[in-house]
Structure 1
Amino acid sequence: MQYHKNYTWFFLLIVLILNIALDQISKFVVRNEISDYEHIVLIKNFFTLTKVENSGAFLSLGDNMPYIFRLIILTGLPVLFLGYGLYYLFSKKNLPSTMQIALCFLIGGGMGNLYDRIVHGSVTDFMHMDFQIFQTGVFNIADISIMIGVGILLIQSLRMKTTPTGDPSNVEKED
């Protein structure tokens, strides 16, 4: 049993570290190879790279807040939430595997953006998609990780609601 627990922790750490590493490597390349607001078309009329430094939150919300409020809201609170997320991930026994993986994506993405905010003073965003009927904001790999984590949790939540009683214990335990 201890072997299984160690294997699970090792796997979760790898997923978490890969999320942070892919995000930071991509941002390092972008910071060094792309000028601010440079527009590089990768897939015509659909996918472009545009380097933007975001000192606010999602879609630059809070960018105009006084520095002390940005520090508390965009750095202090995420440190608390990510710390609790790590504690929850590694201390809660019997979490479904899908929830563990989702938390790794959420925490990894959050840590990638938090690292940027602490070290660089802003988050480097660089991807943009245009679906003709709507466009995304400019985003990064950490944002993708967070959305994957949210998506996994949403799917798991919907699966739980489709069980006869809605009781999580009725969902098959994944390992």
Structure 2
Amino acid sequence: MNRTLFITLLIVFNIAIDQISKVIVRNTLNFREEIDVIGKYFQLIWVENKGAFLGMGSDMNPTLRFIFLLVLPTVVLAYVIYYILKTKELDRLSLIAFCCIAGGGIANVFDRIVFGQVTDFFFINLGGVFKTGIFNIADMSVTAGMIMLLFSGIFNSNKKEEIA
């Protein structure tokens, strides 16, 4: 498959899955309603987040929030897309990782532009062992992309040491 087409499809797929899930949540759940998927361990809870990760920045003045949660992420995402399109030496895992990060980031920026906030709805609480904030599929894409980049970096670093 053409590399540029692969990048475009993967980014669009990430955006589409996120946006479709948010439309479903907005149309089927009541705001702040808690739906137990797996007991209290995994729930759907529709919230709207004016800030970034875990609501950070939601109490900023509107100008700072616009700069730090809309302008800056847009510039960074544009650079990430430019980077992955121009850097032909990226290994496949890194390429997929960057596409997930870009797709998830674009999906959340889209929410901020269109709705002024981001729709979140997943919540995990493993009884004190592990507990998340409320998040969405775009957040999962970005997190998965970061984990893949970490593994790619470790894997490629080990490969270089073996060659040397």
TM category, shorter: over 0.9
* Matching residue of 2:154: 158
* Matching residue of 2:58: 63
Instruction: Return structure 1 stretches of 4+ with deviation > 4 angstroms.
Output: none
Alignment partners' CA distance in 2, 1:131 and 1:157: 30
* Matching residue of 1:51: 46
Alignment partners' CA distance in 1, 2:74 and 2:118: 15
Deviation at 1:164, TM superposition (A): 5.2
* Matching residue of 1:28: 23
Deviation per residue, 1:101-141 (Å, 9 max, x gap): 11100000000000000100000000001111121100000
Alignment partners' CA distance in 2, 1:35 and 1:64: 24
* Matching residue of 2:131: 135
Deviation per residue, 1:57-89 (Å, 9 max, x gap): 100001100000000000000110001011111
Alignment partners' CA distance in 2, 1:131 and 1:62: 27
RMSD of the TM alignment (CA)? 1.3
Amino acid at match of 2:20: I
Amino acid at match of 2:97: A
| Mapping 1:95-114, distance limit 5 Å | 95-114=90-109
* Matching residue of 1:78: 73
Deviation per residue, 1:36-60 (Å, 9 max, x gap): 1100011113110000100001000
Amino acid at match of 2:94: M
Identity of aligned residues (%): 40
Return the TM-score normalized by structure 2. Answer: 0.94
Return the TM-score normalized by structure 1. Answer: 0.88
Alignment partners' CA distance in 1, 2:117 and 2:75: 19
SS in 2 for 1:161: helix
Alignment partners' CA distance in 2, 1:11 and 1:109: 16
Deviation at 1:91, TM superposition (A): 1.2
Matched, 1:17 2:16: no
- Aligned match of 2:119 in 110, 124, 129? 124
Q: Provide structure 1 residue ranges, at least 5 long, that are not aligned to the other structure.
A: 171-175
